[in-house]
Structure 1
């Protein structure tokens, strides 16, 4: 029995050593694909990247974290000036849990599809590059919780396969060139944190699926697209998160009169839409509301008084059809009725 245990231990250690060596080979290949830049000059054969990386991370704008068995699980680079394609050798780091490229404006090409085969990934953050092409289609990754591909040049549609990621709670695809509609169930409710869906500054069209009304968002930002229809289901007294809802500069159209604002809603932007009706009383009683914007809509009638109304200036309600009452001018007896 002792011989068998010894052999098993030997095979495990040998496998671990080989895998660690493979990660070194992958890092050297990544360095080569990035053009052997000065900030990675220490990435040479035999470099103890697991132990030395943390000491050098902030000086050289990179960071590597390893597991207890010496496998690379985090890879982070920021503020680089690589004028090269995205390194596909990153897919050779098979145990990666986090990959981050921040503010590398000269990094171009597409995100390699092989990145979707890294099944240990928890977070993928590629922000502020010149990467183009489509958004990778991740399927059935149980560990993936955060995808942030904002501030790039990505195009095409949002993959509906994101609905198969059961623990995805943060998705940020803002400031790209995405088109098409918003698929349902892109993010999911979590017991530990509030979901975030940020798709602002794209060219998305169509209506928002009603299933998003079931999610207790911490943040949903759909601003500066060409979305339309009814989005009133995102609001409601039952919402428990300290949420912010941004729906500005679109074609949303619904009656605000029947919307209830949660006491936990701290901000929203509904400006530049076609929202009609009156401002409901729950607007004045939303206890933590600090940053609302209802300007440039078709709202009408007297604003609610008391409560939180003293916090807001006239700009919050500007350029509507016929709103009146503090902080706007007083209402007149001949004020026209509200209509869609």
Structure 2
């Protein structure tokens, strides 16, 4: 038998803590089968230690089991689409120092985003989206040297975006949409070179121009439905932009001619702002209809009525 006896014991305890869901029926203590052959997990081919555990789309009524800490070689942990998985993000996860991927999305978890996640230096991906998490975003997450993606969207988070997030070395994608975040966007974020930033549907105010820059690798920038107020005519757009959504803010100024040089722009919306002036004439911008520009102070030119 290749499966490590400590891992086998831990897996059976996890199954028990989850109230023996049908999804884990193959985790059977009565059979002598190698636990590396059980469903919903993977073992390392050389060490035969359990490195991945997945509990997906099931009627599990429980909390994240503290026994998860008994799998010290775990690299990926996924609890996904479990509407009856409740309670906080288990503190025992802090002991999983080899963890690279933490997927805890589409559940019914509550409590704060835990500060201890900043201690798991191997983390590359954190997905806590679609839960009921509340409280503020812990500044300690910026201490993760290898983080590539942080998704905390669709929760009930409040407070500001931490100033420390400008010190990320790995330039992670940041997805914070559909929360209740407030305050201004930290100026330190000007140093970030993330490909994807989604701060939409919050209560963020003030100047967001620090997120723009012609030399940044930005592909998706969604700041829609906030309280942001800055002069759009003074920003420089990344030539890599694919998606730019600024609708429902208080953004003023005019649409810069430089936007016509963004070759790959596929989605664009500046409606419901305070913009003025003529929409730059270009084949690239002609692909967007009037709904991308409606309800501004005095924008004019195709596809809106012509300027007088």
Interval containing the TM-score (normalised by the shorter chain): over 0.9
State whether residues 67 and 92 of structure 2, in contact with CA within 8 Å, keep that contact through their aligned partners in structure 1: no
Distance 1:167 1:188 in 2: 9
Correspondence for 1:202: 179
- Secondary structure of the structure 2 residue equivalent to 1:25: helix
- Equivalent-residue separation in structure 2 for 1:102 and 1:65 (angstroms): 20
CA contact (8 A) 2:143 2:168 kept: no
- Cα distance in 1 for partners of 2:160, 2:33 equals 47
* In 2, Cα distance between equivalents of 1:63 and 1:119: 18
Check the 8 A contact 2:127/2:152 in 1, yes or no.
yes
Deviation at 1:67, TM superposition (A): 4.8
Q: How many residues align?
A: 303
For 2:63 and 2:282, how far apart are their aligned partners in 1?
A: 58
Conservation of the 8 A alpha-carbon contact between 1:163 and 1:184 = no
Q: Which residue of 1 aligns with 2:11?
A: 27
Give CA-to-partner distance per residue, 1:59-102, whole Å, 9 cap, x none: xxx23333522211111121111111221111111111110111
* Alpha-carbon distance in structure 2 between the residues aligned to 1:314 and 1:41: 55
Q: TM-score, normalised by structure 1?
A: 0.85
**1:168 aligned to 142, 147, 152, which one?**
147
Question: 2:158 is paired with a residue of what secondary structure?
Answer: strand
1:39 to 19, 23, 26: 23
Superimposed CA distance per residue, residues 224-271 of structure 1 (whole angstroms, 9 cap, x where no aligned partner): 111111011211211234x10010111100001111222211111101
User: 1:63·1:74 contact (CA, 8 Å) conserved in 2?
Assistant: yes
Aligned to 2:168: 188
Counterpart check, 1:218 vs 2:202: no
Query: Relative to structure 2, which stretch is displaced further, 168-177 or 140-149?
Result: 140-149
Residue pair 1:63, 1:75 contacting (<8 A) in 2 also: yes
Matched with 2:214 is 237
Match of 2:41? 63
Tell me how large the CA RMSD over aligned residues is.
Answer: 1.6
Match of residue 125 from structure 2: 146
Structure 2 gaps, min length 5: none
Deviations 1:264-292 (A, max 9, x none): 11111101000001111012221111101
Q: Which residue of 2 aligns with 1:299?
A: 275
Residue 5 of structure 1 aligns with which residue?
none
TM-score, with length taken from structure 2: 0.94
Structure (1 or 2) with the larger CA radius of gyration: 1
Unpaired stretches in structure 1, ≥5 consecutive residues: 1-16, 333-340
Q: Which residue of 1 aligns with 2:302?
A: 326
2:72 is aligned with 1:100: no
- Residues 293, 189 of structure 1: alpha-carbon distance in 2 compared, 3 angstrom cutoff: farther
